[in-house]
Chain A
Amino acid sequence: MSITKLGKIAVVGLSAAWIVGCSTTASETDSSANSAENTESTDQAFGAGEDDSLTSVIIADDAANADENGMSMLDGVETVFYFDFDKSIVRPESREALTKHAQYLVANPDARVVLEGHADERGTREYNMALGERRAKAISRYLTIQGVAASQIESVSFGEEVPLAFGHDDNSWQQNRRVEIRYEK
């Protein structure tokens, strides 16, 4: 990853403007066929988030190139990304892992991800639905800037409805303000 590219991403990541939409197509989403599988894979994603470590996992560029198309390039890469209160700015510590996801998606144009945005319990529920989506779209934008096709990404919000932590304190709220990347099979 070049330094200039990182710099550019940082600027865009901090920008509050919303330009890129991941999808504008209407659809009937009665896709009950794949529901069982989805539920399973997402439960695993929730499990991954519980360790609450924000440290990026660094994979050497060489290793990534050697195994460009395999899912193994994402081994150990963070799938949960956290946000500040009432904010939807991608944090600097999220960038490294997000870049790995972007590289994988670019190398695998058939791969699809759902970005599931979440909010903490404060504030009203439908506003938090909007806030969760805004966070998912911040991640989406981060990925598309690195070359991921918009058609590979779907942003969904769960608002405050699916918390990871159940306390009514700063620590729980922080764990709940998040976006989870879920790969669709």
Chain B
Amino acid sequence: MKKIPLLLLFCSLLFSSLSRAQLVIEITNGADQLLPIAVVKFGNEGTEILPDIAQIIESDLKRSGLFDAIPRNVMLSQPTKKENVFYRNWRLLKADYVLIGSTKLLSGDTYEIEFELLNVLAQKNVQNRESIKVRKANFRDAAHYISDKVYELLTGVRGAFSTKILYVTAEGDKASPTFQLQVADADGFNPQVIVESKEPILSPAWSNNGRFISYVMFRDRRPNIFIQELATGKRQRIKSYKGLNGSPSWSPDGKKLALVLSKDDNPEIYVLDIATQKLERITNHYSIDTEPSWEPDGKGIIFTSDRGGNPQIYRVDLVSKSVERVTFEGELNTRARMTPDGRFLVTVQKSNGQYNISLQDMKTGRVQVLTETYLDESPSIAPNGSMVMYATTHNGKGILSVVSVDGLVKYRLPSAAGEVREPSWSPYFK
């Protein structure tokens, strides 16, 4: 029997639990070639009503835009064990794969969940029946774990359903809103408030292993950068300077923080060694240099600069400090993020007066505008490189939206109340 300690750990985190504005998924678009899968309702060997794990898995898979789920109401049977699966029936429903499983109470609030994935045409297991142990409060986590398994088995790409998102909300009176930094599951469920303030909060970011976060919060009407350990809530304020203190970004090894200070008159990129507090200035130009983000290999930092007139993305080599321009299309490009494989650069591009999320192929230079929503900003890439979450404005309200890197899959995460902004997709938790 396998345990999933990480997921369990996450649920015992010390968050204050103000969870009113849950996010709801709406798929607005989909890919052409979908994998047909039947996610059968999991068996329940007890009498207690349990969360519908199969339902959560099904919406995970659908949200990826790569799967077509066979509706429950057309299923001829709901097998929970392989010996009860009649492959012919599933072939008739045009399902290529069937996921079945069952739940059993072990003791107290701990359950055993078994699941197996079957290939309908080959009439055999894609993977042998697997068993996980989980507390009732963590059923959603268990479902996301199974979704990750299925996704990886069938696409060859690691799933990102068990990841988290950070985002900022502004609620209440618009002239005097309450700002909150929240963390939620990648599907928007289980939102938890990390920090609340009457002064602005912005630029949330994850450390490489997901244990720490950083963000900018105003105090006494001045910006400060904070580092916080998620599990303990322990917080450290980075030494602040006159002027800007912004855009914290964690190095791939988690030891350094790139940030923006204007202590020497105009915004420049600095790198702070967190352990030694040593501060190194990286850029040196009279223009605006801001929005640093590390390359996945840690050798360079990409950032926004208006040194060429309009803001564009540049790259600075951390050894030689030489700077080269990276983006050339569009009226401007800002706040770049790189996919984990270093292949693509995602930016906020302004073209024809519109701000949208664009994707630049770092090999070919080809640029594709991925979104056509309004005032798009703050793109953040899933750790498997498949999806980009970003903030946009819908019906005059700030919401979060997701687009696949091929631009084919789009869905929204509208919130019940207030403005939602600045999503930051977690890495895989280590």
**Which residues in A have some Cβ–Cβ distance to B below 8 Å?**
17-18, 21-32, 34-35, 38-39, 42, 46, 114, 116, 121-127, 129-131, 133-134, 137, 154-159, 161-162, 166, 168
Contacts and interface: CB of A to CB of B under 8 A. Distances in A.
Nearest to A42: B221
Given A26-B239, A124-B377, A134-B288, A158 B200 contact: yes
B83 interface: no
Interface of B: 174-175, 200, 202-203, 218-224, 237, 239-244, 246-247, 260, 262-267, 286, 288, 290-291, 304, 311, 332, 334-335, 348, 350, 355, 374-375, 377-378, 393, 396, 421-422
Contact of B288 (A17, A30, A127): A127
10 contacts: A23-B242, A23-B243, A35-B220, A38-B221, A116-B221, A124-B334, A124-B377, A130-B260, A157-B243, A161-B200
Given A122-B355, A125-B202, A126-B290, A168 B375 contact: yes
Given A24-B264, A30-B219, A126 B335 contact: yes
Given A27-B241, A126-B260, A159-B202, 12 more contacts: A22-B242, A23-B242, A23-B243, A24-B265, A27-B240, A124-B304, A124-B377, A127-B304, A127-B335, A130-B244, A156-B222, A161-B200
Contacts of B224: 29
Contacts of A137: 265
Contact of A28 (B239, B265, B290, B393): B239
B167 to A, nearest CB: 12
A26 B264 CA distance: 9
B374 to A, nearest CB: 8
Contacts of A114: 221
A40 B188 CA distance: 36
A130 to B, nearest CB: 4
Among the interface residues A17, A30, A124, A129, which one has the most CB atoms of the partner chain B within 10 A? A124
Nearest to B397: A168
B262 A133 contact: yes
A29 B220 contact: yes
Among A21, A32, A137, A166, which residue has the most Cβ atoms of chain B within 10 A? A21
A103 B329 CA distance: 47
B202 A156 contact: no
Given A27-B240, A154-B242, A126 B202 contact: yes
Nearest to B304: A127
Contacts of A24: 242, 263-265
